């Protein structure tokens, strides 16, 4: 209707314009009227039809994807009669024929996925799940006709690819490589171990030994620590499919990252000896701290604190009372807990004097026996304006902004319900920045008076608990029958926070992790602090890596926002030490350390091809499995598959008439023609 209206409006304008022009020739007048009618109709069309629908049809050929496994196992184990060169030639011929009829994409995969063919079989891993995940991402909603997968079915990373196949909605044609016949082989299949152990502790690693086609043979299992043999034992192989898990007890005798190598002595005619050994890396730390509880006399609170600390085997706890303190060497301890010392009896005065001259962290616990005046003298971080003679009951509640260590919501609720501590009456004034964990609640009034808090004065940590009666808290817990002790947890975290030594080095260099695989980039980070301990990255930082053969690698760190980072790329397997250096304020700063690059042997761990998995992949997707000598038959099957066809997509879209430049050219032409003939015939 709108179109008819535009035409009628054009005719109306033409009639009005030329109805009183009898002096013009009849043919000319009709022609000019038609020009005017068409012109007005076009202009009205631009106003009433700003959008126009356009329909086009696009053809999309089927997409065929060839994925070729380039991992070590493909080239390592080959069945009898397999002709590798002929296989490569046939696969290339298949791709050429497919590309003539379809859109073709070719990938090779192992520990990475790259375009094109690569028959070097150098990949350290095989991850088919990552391959299909990438295909799902890249070709979502595309017309995928088929996927051709050439592999041995040994996928040692990423799990089974079966779960991602259906997302492609395309048949998978598999080419079964490798050999399914077991061959004589002996291997360390796995080593279960902890990543972290404590110095002088015994720990157990579990070695899983597997053997094939070796019944009646004997092998020797040896364990070496940093290249030195520390244990040996013999293993009898009782069957052709032999599996045994052997627990091995070791002792952590040296601090740092230790390399333990599990080695099986080889048998004759093994298919591979590279899987006879496996190395693991275990960090040994000396987290043990000596803690001293110093008190004037025995008290139930001391037993509570002792129970909480003794539960952690990394603390060596000692309790010393009265004048026996004066014989103690303060520097032997990583933390001293002063329970109501100094007191009115002046117990351990000489010990307190020595303690004041050291940087040993101290946890002060004040109670009825404390001498407040002497307490203010032995430390200057806080001032206590009060008296021993007046004692008040102070309940506890958690400071929600406390972050020095974690106290969960459930524990906070129990702390609110604990019995009150008995605290000397008075006001606490803190000199410096403090971290308050608990505040005092007097009756139902929540005060801002600190009860448990921490300070760090000139690098010396100190904790303060205003009040005695921790044993009351233990009784409160027993009434609630808690699964884990909140009191023990709070005391343990307090001791851990105070006893941990802060790293005050101005220049630190550390690898992103202690061990890297040989197929991943080695990353190292560095940070440099000025005298105010603000991170800077103005000076250059150089580093020299040295492997176990003495070969040197020199690098220069790159700068990040406020620190440094180095990507040293992939390095050969082995042990590496590093020495980094820079200059700050005319002084040379040095940092050193070590890391390991672990040899990848996953491709040697399984030598029997998994053709069953390949067949399942094909059956699940309505494809088919082929042997290498028959792979050219895939072309015929794809051609006969009626589901693999070119798709036609209708593309409907609306476009603005203003985008059609030719329309404006027509309008200008019509205006020009009308104007020319009107002028020529004396019309205005």
Digit-coded pLDDT (tens) for 476-507: 887 766 667 899 999 999 998 898 877 778 89
426: confidence class by pLDDT, cuts 50, 70, 90? confident
Contacts of 424 (CB under 8 A, 6+ apart): 366, 367, 368, 370, 372, 384, 386, 387, 388, 390, 391, 392, 466
Distance, CA of 375 to CA of 229 (rounded, Å): 57
Average pLDDT of every residue of the chain: 87
Distance, CA of 613 to CA of 152 (rounded, Å): 9
Give φ, ψ of 320 to 5 degrees. Answer: -130, 135
Is the distance from CB of 281 to CB of 226 less than 8 angstroms?
no
Q: Is pLDDT larger for residue 390 or for residue 552?
A: 552
pLDDT value of residue 481: 65
Share of the chain above pLDDT 90, in %: 47
Report the chain's terminal Cα–Cα distance, integer Å. Answer: 34
Q: What is the CA radius of gyration of the chain?
A: 41
Tell me which residue of 170, 148, 212 sits closest to 614, measured CA to CA. 148
Q: Is the pLDDT of residue 452 over 90?
A: yes
Which tokens sit at 278?
Answer: 């496996």
CA 327 to chain centre: 51
Distance, CA of 223 to CA of 260 (rounded, Å): 7
pLDDT value of residue 60: 81
For residue 68, the SS3 value is strand
pLDDT value of residue 552: 94
Give φ, ψ of 403 to 5 degrees. Answer: -135, 5
How many residues are given for the chain?
684
Fill in the DSSP letter of residue 275.
G
Q: Is pLDDT larger for residue 13 or for residue 267?
A: 267
Q: Is 649 exposed, middle or buried (0-12, 13-18, 19+ CB in 10 A)?
A: exposed
Q: Is the pLDDT of residue 522 over 70?
A: yes
Task: Give the 3-state secondary structure of 122-169.
Answer: CECCCCHHHHHHHHHHHCCCCCEEEEEEEECCCCCCCCCCHHHHHHHC
Is the distance from CB of 455 to CB of 462 less than 8 angstroms?
yes
| Arithmetic mean of pLDDT, 141-150 | 92
| Arithmetic mean of pLDDT, 645-658 | 72
Q: Is 145 exposed, middle or buried (0-12, 13-18, 19+ CB in 10 A)?
A: buried
pLDDT value of residue 271: 85
pLDDT value of residue 89: 94
C-alpha dist (Å) from residue 79 to 55, 73, 85: 56, 12, 14
| Arithmetic mean of pLDDT, 62-75 | 91
Q: What predicted TM-score, i.e. pTM, was given to this entire model? A: 0.60
Contacts of 327 (CB under 8 A, 6+ apart): none
Distance, CA of 19 to CA of 659 (rounded, Å): 35
Q: What is the pLDDT of residues 40-67, one digit of tens each?
A: 777 777 776 666 667 667 778 899 999 9
Q: Is pLDDT larger for residue 31 or for residue 184?
A: 184
* Helix pair angle (26-48, 2-18), 10° resolution: 140
| Arithmetic mean of pLDDT, 316-321 | 93
Distance, CA of 582 to CA of 544 (rounded, Å): 12
| Arithmetic mean of pLDDT, 18-36 | 74
C-alpha dist (Å) from residue 682 to 17, 331, 460, 675: 15, 119, 107, 11
Catalogue the E-assigned strands of 467-586: 507-511, 515-517, 523-529, 535-536, 542-547, 552-556, 558-559, 564-567, 574-584
Q: Is the pLDDT of residue 187 over 80?
A: yes
Is the distance from CB of 637 to CB of 173 less than 8 angstroms?
yes
C-alpha dist (Å) from residue 130 to 137, 158, 162: 11, 7, 12
Beta-bridged to residue 198, according to DSSP, are: 285
Give φ, ψ of 417 to 5 degrees. Answer: -90, -5
Strands of 552-556's sheet, edge to edge? 515-517, 587-598, 574-584, 542-547, 552-556
Q: What is the pLDDT of residues 162-171, one digit of tens each?
A: 888 878 889 9
pLDDT value of residue 511: 92
339: confidence class by pLDDT, cuts 50, 70, 90? very high
Contacts of 277 (CB under 8 A, 6+ apart): 188, 261, 262, 263, 264, 601
297: confidence class by pLDDT, cuts 50, 70, 90? very high
Q: Is pLDDT larger for residue 389 or for residue 100?
A: 100
Give φ, ψ of 383 to 5 degrees. Answer: -120, 135
| Arithmetic mean of pLDDT, 117-135 | 90
Contacts of 312 (CB under 8 A, 6+ apart): 492
pLDDT value of residue 324: 93
| Arithmetic mean of pLDDT, 519-524 | 90
pLDDT value of residue 248: 93
Tell me which residue of 507, 554, 384, 388 sits closest to 453, measured CA to CA. 384
Which tokens sit at 302?
Answer: 């001391």
Q: Is the pLDDT of residue 276 over 70?
A: yes
pLDDT value of residue 270: 87
Is the distance from CB of 147 to CB of 168 less than 8 angstroms?
yes
Q: Is pLDDT larger for residue 401 or for residue 502?
A: 401
Which tokens sit at 568?
Answer: 């040293």
Q: Is the pLDDT of residue 667 over 80?
A: no
| Arithmetic mean of pLDDT, 371-384 | 89
Q: Is the pLDDT of residue 670 over 80?
A: no
| Arithmetic mean of pLDDT, 414-438 | 90
Contacts of 51 (CB under 8 A, 6+ apart): 654, 655, 656, 657
């Amino acid at each position: 209707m709108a179109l008819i209206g535009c035409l009628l409006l054009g005719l109306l304008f033409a009639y009005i314009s030329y109805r009183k022009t009898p002096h013009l020739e009849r043919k000319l007048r009709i022609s000019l009227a038609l020009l005017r009618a068409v012109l007005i109709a076009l202009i009205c069309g631009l106003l009433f039809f700003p959008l126009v629908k356009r329909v086009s049809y696009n053809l999309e050929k089927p997409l065929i994807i060839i994925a070729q496994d380039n991992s070590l196992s493909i080239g390592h184990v080959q069945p009898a009669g397999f002709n590798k060169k002929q296989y490569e030639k046939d696969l290339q011929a298949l791709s050429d024929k497919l590309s003539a009829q379809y859109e073709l994409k070719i990938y090779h995969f192992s520990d990475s996925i790259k375009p094109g063919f690569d028959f070097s079989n150098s990949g350290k891993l095989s991850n088919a799940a990552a391959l299909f995940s990438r295909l799902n991402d890249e070709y979502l909603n595309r017309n995928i006709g088929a996927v051709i997968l050439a592999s041995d079915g040994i996928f040692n990373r990423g799990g089974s690819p079966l779960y991602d196949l259906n997302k492609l909605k395309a048949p998978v044609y598999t080419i079964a490589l490798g050999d399914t016949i077991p061959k004589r082989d002996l291997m360390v299949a796995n080593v279960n171990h902890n990543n972290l152990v404590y110095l002088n502790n015994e720990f157990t690693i579990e070695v899983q030994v597997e053997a094939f086609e070796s019944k009646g043979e004997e092998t020797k299992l040896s364990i070496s620590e940093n290249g030195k043999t520390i244990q040996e034992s013999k293993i009898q192989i009782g069957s052709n499919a032999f599996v045994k898990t052997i627990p091995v007890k070791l002792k952590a005798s040296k601090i740092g990252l230790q390399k333990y190598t599990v080695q099986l002595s080889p048998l004759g005619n093994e298919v591979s000896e590279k899987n006879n050994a496996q190395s693991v890396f275990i960090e040994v730390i000396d987290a043990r701290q000596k803690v001293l509880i110093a008190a004037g006399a025995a008290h139930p609170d001391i037993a509570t604190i002792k129970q909480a600390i003794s539960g952690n085997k990394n603390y060596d706890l000692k309790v010393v009372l009265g004048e026996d303190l004066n014989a103690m060497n303060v520097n032997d301890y990583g933390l001293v807990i002063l329970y109501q010392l100094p007191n009115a009896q002046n117990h351990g005065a000489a010990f307190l004097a020595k303690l004041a001259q050291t940087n040993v962290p101290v946890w002060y616990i004040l109670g009825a026996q404390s001498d407040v005046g002497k307490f203010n003298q032995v430390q200057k971080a806080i001032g206590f304006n009060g008296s021993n003679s007046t004692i008040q009951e102070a309940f506890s509640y958690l400071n929600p902004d406390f972050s020095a260590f974690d106290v969960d919501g459930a524990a906070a609720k129990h702390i609110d319900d604990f019995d009150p501590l008995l605290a000397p009456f008075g006001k606490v004034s803190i000199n410096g920045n403090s971290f308050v964990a608990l505040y005092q609640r007097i009756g139902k009034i929540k005060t801002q008076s600190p009860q448990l808090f921490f300070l760090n004065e000139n690098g010396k940590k100190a904790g303060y608990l205003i009040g005695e009666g921790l044993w009351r808290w233990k009784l409160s817990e027993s009434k609630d029958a808690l699964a884990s002790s909140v009191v023990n947890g709070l005391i343990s975290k307090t001791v851990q926070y105070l006893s941990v030594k802060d790293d005050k080095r101005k220049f630190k260099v550390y690898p992103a992790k202690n061990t890297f695989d040989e197929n991943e980039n080695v990353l190292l980070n560095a940070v440099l602090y000025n005298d105010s301990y603000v991170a800077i990255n103005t000076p250059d930082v150089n580093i020299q890596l040295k492997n176990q053969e003495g070969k040197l690698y020199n690098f220069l760190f790159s700068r990040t926002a406020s620190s440094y980072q180095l990507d040293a790329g992939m390095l050969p397997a082995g042990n590496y030490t590093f020495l980094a250096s820079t200059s700050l304020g005319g002084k040379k700063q040095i940092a050193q350390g070590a890391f390991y690059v672990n040899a990848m042997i996953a491709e040697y761990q399984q030598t029997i091809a998994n053709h069953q998995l390949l067949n399942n992949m094909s059956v699940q997707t309505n494809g088919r499995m082929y042997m290498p000598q028959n792979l050219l038959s895939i072309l015929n099957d794809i051609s006969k598959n009626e589901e693999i066809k070119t798709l036609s997509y209708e593309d409907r879209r609306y476009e603005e008439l203003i985008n059609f430049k030719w329309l404006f050219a027509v309008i200008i032409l019509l205006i020009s023609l009308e104007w020319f003939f009107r002028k020529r015939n004396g019309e205005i």
